[in-house]
Structure formats: structure tokens, C-alpha cells
Structure 1
Amino acid sequence: MANKNWYKLTFQIESDSEEIIIWKLNELGIFSFSFEYLIKTDNKKEVNIWLPIEEWDESSISDFEQIISKLLNINDSKNQFFDWSIIKEEDWLTSWKKYWGPELIGNHFLILPCWINSDDKFKDKKIIKIDPGAAFGTGSHPSTYLCLEKMENISFSKKRVLDIGSGSGILSIAARLLGAKEVYAVDNDYLAINSTNSNFQLNFGNSKSLKTYLGSFNEIIFKYQFKKFDFVLCNILAEVIKEMIPNIYHCLRNDAEVVFSGILNSQKDEIIKILIQNNLKLLDISSKKDWTCISAQKGS
């Protein structure tokens, strides 16, 4: 099998633009990116994005540049804002990994890239080992961070958990580490399902307590008759969450809880309104930077 080549796109942003860039990349289905502080200044960051060459032609590249330029109000008539380069698969793997290190989240979790050995100082942490192949998140995104912070204060012992939009499987793994009896993971991307499965096995040596489902949540729920979950975890974009809330309600047993993340602060009120309309009681709201995490409960 021939090695895949990649475009590496680099450009600089003001630090306070990081969250809107993350939101847009997630909306576009782009998950291979990093942010690096520039030594010369504290208020600028370098954005690095990796894109598979076989999926990006001149037209899609031009469209992407226009999207980012509009987002940042950049007028780049001389085409000097974006720096494109081509790197080979093996170079891409090396360049990607150098941006990752252990990530402490909340009071109990440590996200650990699988190529790094755990330090003794972290022996009291719940370690989540991740090898996402640079396709999905490592927990550093504020929405994932907020979810994990919320989860560590919930008792998952012997519970049945549904993870919607599982990605690299971080929340599924966290639920199992916290004592969940069964974890059901749903994603509409086969790469995400593969990543969830492989990372689950990486952490537990098997996937006996994990069931994965490929497809749209609103289709999967009816096909497999999902019902009576104790917890639902949903870390995706707000526009998608809005459409799922009625069906999520029907997945929950009475008094069960749901945690929503991936919501921008500006979208919070609309999500809360839809929750109330669907008889889900608001329990808690937390925020980090421009992102909000909402937990709610189905009444008896």
C-alpha cells in the first residue's frame, strides 16, 4: 500500500481567535490540527492543519482559504497569509506527535498519547491512553475537557452509557474507567468507530463492555431500539444536538442524565429552550473559554 501524502497548512492568528477556528474546523470535519504559541509574542499562535492530498484539490483548497479568511476578516490579496507544504506519511506522523503530550483534565483524568510512558507522579490518576492516528481529539478541546470534568463528579458504577459522536472514544473510555457496566458508542464516521474500538482495547485489553454502531444516531436509535440508558454523553456540534434532543429523551430511563457539550456560549440559550420543551430538567451549566457544557435529567 502506497504511503499517503499530506498538505500541511500553516498560518498565524491572534490567540483569542483559537476557539472560533476550532469550532469551524470541527464543523468542516477537520480534526488534524494543532496550535502553537509563538516565542516572540504571547498574543499570537501558529495554526497547523494536516489535510490528505487525495481529498483536497485546487478548488477545495481555494474554498477553504476563503472560509478562513472570512472568519478572521483577512484580506490576503497577495496570498501571503497561508503557507502550504507537502509532507510524506512518515514525516507527517513525526510532525503530528511532537505537538502532543500528557494532558491533565479535572482532578482525576490524564490523557496519555500511547507512545508516551506514564510518569510515577500520575499513578493516582485515571489514565486514558489514546492513539487516534491524528484523526480525532485528544481531550484538549474545551468541549471534551468540560465533559470529562462533569463526568468525574458522576457515579457511573454499573450504569449503562450511550456515547453519541464517540470520535476517538475518550468519553467511552472515561465512562468505563468510572465503573460503567456497558458502553454503547455511536458515530457516523467509520474511522471514528475504528478509533473508538482500538482505543478501548488499548486501555482495557478487550472491548467486551463496548458496543459500537456506525451511522446516524437518529437512524441507529430506531434500528436497534435504544432505550433505558442511565447516562447519555453527547459531545458534538450544537446544530446537530438540537435535532437529536427529542430522540435522546426517549433513550433515557426515568431520572437518567444527559451531558451535552460542543456548544458555543452564544448557542446555550437555544439549547436550554429545546431541553425544556422536551421535558428535560436543567441540572448544571459549566463553561470554558467560549464553550458550554449542559447537563439535564429526564423526570420520573
Structure 2
Amino acid sequence: MNWQAITVNTSDEAIEAVSAILMDGAGAEGVQVNDQVTPVKITAYFEDNAAIRHIIQTIKTALASLERYGINASPATLDIAGISEKDWSDNWKAYYHATRITRHLTVVPAWESFLPQQEHEYPIFLNPELSFGTGTHPTTKLMLQALETVVRGGETMLDIGTGSGVLSIAAKQLGVAQILATDVDDDAVQVARDNLLVNPIAQDVKVIVSDLMAGVDSAPVDLIVANILADVIELLIPQIWGYLKPGGYFMVSGIIEANAHHILNQFTDAGYQVIQHNQMGDWHSFIVQKLVDEEIA
């Protein structure tokens, strides 16, 4: 079977929205995200049949609508090419190589061997077959840096919207003892489980399908992480209070410049203390702490 590869040239800000358009709106059979170039290239694959013209128009219409939601997807241009099934399965591997992300964490393709370049350098093996993150996007980098800042070893953690599972794997490498990871997307849950299998240290991470906290049955934990969009974080802030121990940390990213101040206010209004506010390009992350009873008083 042959395929049509439709590549959307877009911005960092629009990666998740464009990926959703291609996968959910247009019905792509697979997506790859190359965020190592400017503009970002998001390639979707479709069966090569008579429906392709309608699919292209659907994508163009959806891209044009993103501006109404405050998402800058420019240049939002399309490149279209025929591709064989073998290339569809393998060509995305060409630009994905081991990448040092933080002081201690290096993202490594699952098909590559890894030799640490320094003491206390830990691999995160990923096989990102779908659009659930390769570990190199600024939002992921910010979250990995946050984990390095906070984790001391022996903690319990919830990973909300786990995607590829990269944050759970990193947390286990840094010494977190127990993790429950969730995602609303069945495909993401399967991708995360597959990635956990190639990271022996993380094979005890439990991954479930859950819409935010709806399916979470957990005692309060030391850490909660969420690398998701600002509007979802806003919904999550009031939900997680009872799941976080007093003195525990909530770490979030996926917040664009325009939404950062609003999310900051949401945290302070909810009673959290902001420990760190970091920025990488247009993306923001926060580390906040749930105050213990004495501090609240």
C-alpha cells in the first residue's frame, strides 16, 4: 500500500493543535514531529486514494481556524508527497538521534546503543512512532529541568497526560520510587507502555487511560507533573489539591507566553507557592508547592 505524506510547516506553539488536526480531524494513519528545524515540520500519513483532496481541504480549513483560538500556526503551509509503506515506517528515524537534554538526562532512540559521556548521565530510551513527544521540545526540556531541580529520591509521583512516557522514565532515572501515569488517549497510553518496556528502570510505572484525574485512585503523592496546554492546566489546578501531599510539588509546562500570567494567578489564587517560573523561547513552566498547614495559617 502506498501513502500520501502531508507535511504542515508550523510553529512550536502550534505543535499539539496541528497534530490533533491531522490525527483526529483528518484521520491520519501516523504523525511525525520534527521540532529540530524552523519552521517545525509535522508530517501526517494517509492512504493514497480518492479521498485525499477532501482531506487536504479539511486540514487547510482547520489550520485557518486556529487563529480564532489564539494559536499562531504560521506559516501553516502544506507540502505533499507520495511515499511507500516502507518509507512511512522508517523515514522519521533519519533525524532522531541521542540528544543531551539536561545536565543528567539524554534522550536516546530505542534502536541506538548508549554510552554515557560523563558520570550520572542517564538515558531515556524512546521510540516515538506517533505524535506523543520525542523529548526535545522546549516544553519537555523545561519539565525535565524541573524534575532535576525537585527530585531527591524516593518520591511518589503522578504523571498527568504522559504522552510518550518521557517524564515518567526521567523521574525513575532520577530516583522517584513510584509513579502512576495517565493519558486520555488510548494510543498515547500504548506508546508510553511500549517506551517503558525499553527502559528497564521504569517498567514498574503504571499507565492508565484517564481524563485528567477522573480515573485516578491514588493516595496523596509528593510530585505531580503535567506537560499539557494551558487551558487543560487551568482545569487541573483545582482537581489535584487533594492528590498532593502538603509540601508536595506540582510541575507544569506547555504554557505559551500569552497564557503565562493567567496561569500564575490561578496558582496563587488556589493557595500554591510559586517556587520557580522558567521560560524557553515562547514556552513557560512553573514549579509550585502546596503549603503545609502551618505555612497556610
TM-score (norm 2): 0.83
Aligned-partner Cα distance in 2 for 1:172–1:205: 10
Shift of 1:191: 1.5
For residue 60 of structure 1, report the CA deviation from its aligned partner: 4.2
- Equivalent in 168, 172, 183 of residue 172 of structure 1: 168
User: Match of 1:275?
Assistant: 267
> Which amino acid in 1 is paired with 2:34?
S
Letter of the 1:261 counterpart: S
Counterpart for residue 296 of structure 1: 288
Q: For the Cα contact (< 8 Å) 1:275–1:281, is it kept in 2? A: yes
Q: What is the aligned-residue RMSD (CA, Å)?
A: 2.7
State the distance in 2 between where 1:64 and 1:247 align: 34
**CA displacement 1:241-285 (0-9 Å, x = unmatched):** 111111111110101000010110110111111112211111110
Q: State the match for 2:82 in structure 1.
A: 86
Cα separation, partners in 2 of 1:33 and 1:153, compared to 1, 3 Å: same
Hey, what does 1:193 align to over in structure 2? Answer: 189
User: What is the CA distance between 1:46 and its match in structure 2?
Assistant: 6.8
User: Is 1:238 aligned to residue 234 of structure 2?
Assistant: no
Cα pair distance change 1:22/1:249, threshold 3 Å = same
Secondary structure, counterpart of 2:215 in structure 1: helix
List gaps (5 residues or longer) in structure 2.
Answer: 24-30, 66-71, 293-297
**Is contact 1:249–1:280 with CA below 8 Å preserved after alignment?**
no
Counterparts in 2 of 1:6 and 1:175: CA distance versus 1, 3 Å: farther
1:206/1:28 CA distance change after superposition, 3 Å: same
For the residue of structure 1 that corresponds to 2:146, the secondary structure is helix
In the TM superposition, what whole-angstrom CA distance separates every residue of 1:155-177 from its partner, at most 9, and x where no partner exists?
24111010000111000001111
Deviates more, 1:210-219 or 1:251-260: 210-219
Q: Which residue of 1 aligns with 2:114?
A: 118
Aligned: 1:51 with 2:51 = no
Shift of 1:29: 7.1
Partner of 2:101: 105
The percent identity for this pair of structures is 25
Structure 1 residues 89 and 178: CA distance shift in structure 2, 3 A:
same
Q: Which residue of 2 aligns with 1:213?
A: 208
Amino acid in the other structure paired with 1:219: A
CA deviations 1:183-216 (Å, max 9, x no partner) are 10000111111122221121117723x1111121
Structure-2 residue corresponding to 1:157: 153
CA contact (8 A) 1:246 1:278 kept: yes
1:263 is the counterpart of 2:258: no
Task: Give the residue type in structure 1 aligned to 2:44.
Answer: W
Q: Which runs of 5+ in 1 are unaligned?
A: 38-43, 76-80
> Which residue of 1, 4, 8 corresponds with 2:5?
8
Secondary structure in 1 aligned to 2:182?
A: strand
Cα distance in 1 for partners of 2:19, 2:228 equals 9
Match of 1:19 in 2: 12
Task: Work out whether residues 33 and 50 of structure 1, in 8 Å CA contact, stay in contact via their aligned partners in 2.
Answer: no
Contact 1:160 / 1:180 at 8 angstroms: preserved in 2?
yes
The aligned counterpart of 1:78 is none
Alignment deviations for residues 15-74 of structure 1 (CA, whole Å, 9 cap, x no partner)? xx632332532554755222565xxxxxx64724123449x8644431322343565677
Equivalent-residue separation in structure 2 for 1:288 and 1:184 (angstroms): 27
